[in-house]
């Protein structure tokens, strides 16, 4: 029975090396929902600040939005957040992403 466990672990490792797995996407989505306090499906600067409870200075907050808010809307959509989280997970190897929906 040990073998099947080992095989599962190897399979998981292979999946992890690719793009974000379905499991990771679910986790990212969960993170996003925690940020989105007023449930409008957008994270704004106020919500990010609330989440970090003052441990984020204005410069870091600004940089966060530069990194994540790719369409410069001033708010972060789930799509943008998932793209950002996936790029962190994969070591930021690529700026293109297969998850981006056309706006």
Backbone angles phi, psi at 65, to 5 degrees: -70, -35
CB closer to Ca ion, 36 vs 80: 36
CB closer to Ca ion, 8 vs 37: 37
77 contacts Ca ion (rule: CB under 5 A): no
CB closer to Ca ion, 40 vs 60: 40
Tell me the C-alpha distance between 37 and 8, whole Å: 37
Helices (H) then strands (E): counts for the chain:
5, 2
- 35 phi-psi bin (left φ>0, alpha ψ -120 to 50, beta other): alpha
Choices 1-9, 13-21, 37-45, 54-62 (CB under 5 A): range interacting with Ca ion: 37-45
40 contacts Ca ion (rule: CB under 5 A): yes
36 contacts Ca ion (rule: CB under 5 A): yes
Instruction: Give the 3-state secondary structure of residue 55.
Output: coil
CB closer to Ca ion, 64 vs 90: 64
Which parts of this chain interact with Ca ion (CB under 5 A)?
Answer: 36, 38, 40, 42
């Amino acid at each position: 029975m040990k073998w099947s466990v080992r095989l599962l672990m190897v399979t998981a490792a292979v999946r992890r090396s690719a793009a974000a797995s379905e499991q990771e996407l679910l986790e990212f989505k969960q993170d996003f929902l925690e940020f989105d306090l007023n449930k409008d499906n957008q994270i704004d600067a106020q919500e990010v600040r609330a989440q970090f409870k003052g441990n984020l200075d204005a410069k870091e907050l600004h940089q966060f939005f530069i990194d994540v808010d790719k369409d410069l809307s001033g708010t972060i959509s789930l799509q943008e957040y998932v793209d950002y989280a996936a790029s962190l997970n994969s070591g930021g190897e690529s700026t293109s992403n297969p998850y981006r929906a056309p706006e």
